[in-house]
């Protein structure tokens, strides 16, 4: 295949040589000399296996490129896996943060409700204590009024009795009182 390709290329490049005048196969014809030099150059290239060396270098380069592409593909897959992992972790962290916020809101609402209940209890205790104080103050005031009324009544009765009573009536009352005490004690 390589030799056929070389012969075809040689024939293609040698066509201008047929247009020259005079005998073609003579060293005086520059076209013939150029053709011989070209064929000799091609023969030297094949002798030193330059096409196989170039093919080997191209194959090596192709293999290097293929390995680099494979490595790049692996790196891309690893990066996608890592990205998916980080996205999953971010989602988990976001869900956890949402749960924490929801729990904090629930705790805050429970604490607010408890504080409201405690405040209502405190207000009720203070109202009860105030009502008790008012009741005891009212009872003390009533007792004081009654004591004052009794004192005033006794004083008024003493004045009335003292004005209306004579010494004889007083002695008679004392004698009656002594008799009543004597009968009650025995």
Q: With 0.75 as the threshold, say if the pTM is over it.
A: no
Question: Is 146 part of a structural domain of the chain?
Answer: yes
Q: What is the number of domains present in the chain?
A: 1
Q: Is residue 145 part of a domain?
A: yes
Contact 20, 29 (CB under 8 A): yes
Residue 31 · residue 16 · CB < 8 Å: yes
Is residue 48 assigned to a domain? Answer: no
The verdict on residue 90 lying in a domain is: no
Residue 51, in any domain of the structure:
no
What pLDDT was estimated at residue 21?
A: 63
Q: Would 102 be classed as within a structural domain? A: no
Residue 178 belongs to a domain: yes
Residue 24 vs residue 49, higher pLDDT: 49
Can you read off the two tokens belonging to residue 164? 């209306």
Query: Would residue 169 count as lying in a domain?
Result: yes
Q: How far apart are alpha carbons 107 and 15 in whole angstroms?
A: 98
Percent of the chain exceeding pLDDT 70 equals: 88
In this predicted model, what pLDDT tens digit does every residue of 107-146 receive, in sequence order?
Answer: 999 999 999 999 999 999 999 998 999 989 888 888 888 8
pLDDT for 37 beyond 90: yes
Residue 176 has pLDDT above 90, yes or no: no
CB-CB contact of 6 with 39 (8 Å): no
Do 86 and 46 form a contact (C-beta atoms < 8 A)? no
CA atoms within 13 A on the CB side of 64: 6
Domain around 152: 137-185
| pLDDT score of 184 | 79
For position 87, what pLDDT does the model report? 95
Q: What is the pLDDT of residue 84?
A: 95
Do 35 and 11 contact (CB within 8 A), yes or no? no
pLDDT digits (tens, 9 = 90+) for 42-85: 999 999 999 999 999 999 999 999 999 999 999 999 999 999 99
């Amino acid at each position: 295949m390589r030799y056929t390709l070389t012969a075809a290329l040689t024939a293609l490049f040698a066509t201008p040589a047929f247009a020259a005048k005079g005998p073609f196969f003579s060293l005086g014809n520059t076209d013939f000399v150029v053709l011989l030099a070209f064929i000799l150059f091609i023969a030297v290239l094949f002798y030193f296996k330059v096409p196989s060396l170039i093919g080997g270098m191209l194959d090596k380069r192709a293999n290097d490129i293929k390995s680099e592409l494979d490595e790049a593909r692996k790196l891309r897959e690893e990066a996608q896996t890592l990205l998916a992992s980080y996205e999953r972790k971010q989602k988990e962290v976001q869900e956890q943060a949402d749960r924490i916020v929801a729990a904090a809101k629930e705790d805050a609402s429970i604490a607010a409700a408890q504080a409201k209940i405690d405040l209502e209890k405190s207000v009720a205790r203070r109202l009860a204590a105030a009502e008790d104080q008012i009741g005891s103050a009212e009872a003390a005031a009533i007792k004081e009024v009654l004591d004052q009324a009794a004192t005033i009544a006794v004083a008024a009765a003493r004045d009335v009795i003292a004005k209306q009573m004579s010494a004889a009536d007083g002695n008679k009352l004392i004698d009656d009182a002594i008799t009543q005490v004597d009968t009650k004690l025995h």
